[in-house]
Amino acid sequence: MNQFEQIYNLLYQSYGPQYWWPCSTKEKKFEMIVGAILTQNTSWKNVAAAIKNLEKENLISIDSILNVDEKKLAKLIKPSGYYNQKAERLKIAAKFFKENKVITREKLLKVKGIGPETADSILLYAYKKPYFVIDAYTKRIFKRLGLTNTENYQEFQDIFEKNLPRDSQLFNEYHALLVKLAKENCMKKPLCGECPLNSKCKHKI
Percent of the chain with pLDDT over 70: 96
% of the chain at pLDDT higher than 90: 87
User: Do 82 and 41 form a contact (C-beta atoms < 8 A)?
Assistant: yes
CA distance 82 to 42: 9
pLDDT at residue number 19: 85
Task: Judge whether 3-17+132-200 and 26-126 match in fold.
Answer: no
Q: Tell me which CATH code domain 3-17+132-200 carries.
A: 1.10.1670.10
> What is the structure's pLDDT at 185?
93
State pTM to two decimals: 0.92
Statement: residue 162 has pLDDT above 70 = yes
If you average pLDDT over residues 123-147, what whole number do you get? 95
Q: Model confidence at 22, in pLDDT bands (50, 70, 90)?
A: low
Nearby residues of 18 by Cβ (< 8 Å), 6 or more positions away: 173, 176, 177, 179, 180
Higher confidence at residue 169 or residue 27? 169
Whole-angstrom CA distances from 72 to 61, 76, 115, 140 are 15, 6, 25, 37
Q: Under CATH, which number does the domain 26-126 receive?
A: 1.10.340.30
Identify the band that residue 23 occupies on the pLDDT scale cut at 50, 70 and 90: low
Give the mean model confidence (pLDDT) for residues 177-194: 94
Domain assignments of the chain as residue spans, ordered by start? 3-17+132-200, 26-126
How confident is the model over 131-157, as a mean pLDDT? Answer: 95
pLDDT at 171 (0 to 100): 97
Q: Which of 54-58, 64-68, 163-167, 200-204 is least confident?
A: 200-204
